[in-house]
Amino acid sequence: EIVMTQSPATLSLSPGERATLSCRASQSISRNLAWYQQRPGQAPRLLIHGASTRATGTPARFSGSGSGTEFTLTISSLQSEDYAVYYCQQYKNWPPYSFGQGTKLEIK
Amino acid sequence: DVQLVQSGAEVKKPGATVKISCKVSGYPFIDYYIHWVQQAPGKGLEWVGLVDPGDGESLYAEKFQGRVTISADTSTDTAYMELSSLRSEDTAVYYCATGIGELQDHWFDPWGQGTLVTVSS
């Protein structure tokens, strides 16, 4: 089973700042990685798949990078609606389709 | 507009069985797999299993194997997740989601609104 590890667990930043979230896979997953955003009380929403392809409706300030075992989600300039929990998910080796434990992005 | 609409919250006693539904609209139901994901209170996301509505084949996470049954009804475009022998640790929100990608290399989009299952005596 592939284990996904996200860091940091919590990230405190001010609006307008740049956010960098990391996700590491326990073995190579090529670029088979997705990122999701989950706001309080809501279902997760797909942001990025294929490590760097923005989903329909994902603002351009969100970008994904990486391959193999190391991946990054960058938010170039934080807006108020970006404060949420972010999860990465691998879909290279399944079952199971595994998620990271999440990074909570909070207002500083 | 693609939508996955789930059934309402459930309260069950330990040892009971729960069956929740996920009604799909906006695309041909048989064209995409449906996945189920568990989220315990204050916790992260855990994949439960999937069903291929085209042939009814299902696949489950080892953790839930033997207690979960995921099915699809093509006459109503609805997927189901049944979880038996409920215990307190099964208290969670369960989401259905459409699996997108090549073969079974799936990311999930969109998601249903979630169904809260509470297991309590």
Q: With an 8 Å Cβ cutoff, are A87 and B100 in contact? A: no
Position B103 scores a pLDDT of 79
pLDDT of residue B78: 98
The DSSP letter of residue A55 is P
Across the interface, do B107 and A92 touch by the CB < 8 Å criterion? no
The two three-digit tokens of residue B72, written as one number: 């699809």
Mean pLDDT of the B97-104 span: 87
CA B40 distance to own-chain centroid: 14
- For residue B102, what pLDDT band results from cuts at 50, 70 and 90? confident
Contact flag B100-A49 (C-beta cutoff 8 Å): yes
**What is the CB neighbour count within 10 angstroms for residue B14?**
12
Give the span between the Cα atoms of A19 and A13, in whole angstroms: 7
Q: What number of C-beta contacts closer than 8 Å exist between A and B?
A: 62
Instruction: Give the pLDDT score at B101.
Output: 84
- Other CB atoms within a 10 A radius of the CB of residue B38 amount to 24
Q: What is the mean pLDDT of residues B43-66?
A: 96
Structure tokens belonging to residue A7: 């860091």
B104 pLDDT higher than 90: no
CB contact under 8 A, A89 and B62: no
Summarize the confidence of residues B12-26 as an average pLDDT: 98
pLDDT band at B9 (very low <50, low <70, confident <90, very high): very high
* Of residues B43, B45, B5, B1, the one with CA closest to residue B24: B5
pLDDT, residue B50, reads 96
- For residues A95 and B59, the answer to whether their CB atoms sit within 8 Å is yes
Mean pLDDT by 10 residues, chain A (108 residues): 97 98 98 97 97 97 98 97 98 95 97
Q: Are B48 and B36 in contact (CB under 8 A)?
A: yes
Residues of A contacting chain B (CB within 8 angstroms) = 32, 34, 36, 43-46, 49, 55, 87, 89, 91-92, 94-102
